[in-house]
Amino acid sequence: MRILAVIHEQRAEDSRNDTRRPVDINASLRMAGARGIGCVLSNISLAGFMARSYARVEPGRPIWLRVPGFPALAARVIWSDDQRLGCQFETPLSPEMLVRIVAEAPNLH
């Protein structure tokens, strides 16, 4: 019997396989030298997050994510479309902080 397998090598810095936790949290994003803009976190993982916002933010831009009750988190915009953006944290979240943030999400955990 033959077994066909495809092996994918994951780079150490590629955390896209981190479990994404669905959330619905009002937060804000701030770019250097600008005022904060409102957003709603849609999902979050140890490595990054997806948010909805009407503000247009170009990929590659460094930003700060502010979730009420938590310190500001440095991130970089990886992709954006009309009303969504995906960002990678400059320093991955600790599992403890991720659990605390998800616990704040209303009715989704």
How do the domains of the chain map onto residue ranges? Answer: 21-98
CA distance 98 to 34: 27
Confidence of residue 16 (pLDDT cuts 50, 70, 90): low
- Considering the chain, what percentage of its residues have pLDDT values greater than 90? 65
Asked whether the predicted pLDDT for residue 44 surpasses 50, the reply is yes
Specify the 3-state DSSP secondary structure of 100: helix
The DSSP call for residue 19 is: P
- H or E element, residue 101: helix 95-103
CATH number 3.40.630.30 is the correct assignment for the domain at 21-98: no
**Which whole number is the average pLDDT over 81-94?**
95
The DSSP call for residue 70 is: S
What tens digit of pLDDT does each residue of 46-59 get? Answer: 999 999 998 888 99
Contact present, 66 and 55 (Cβ < 8 Å): no
pLDDT of residue 17: 65
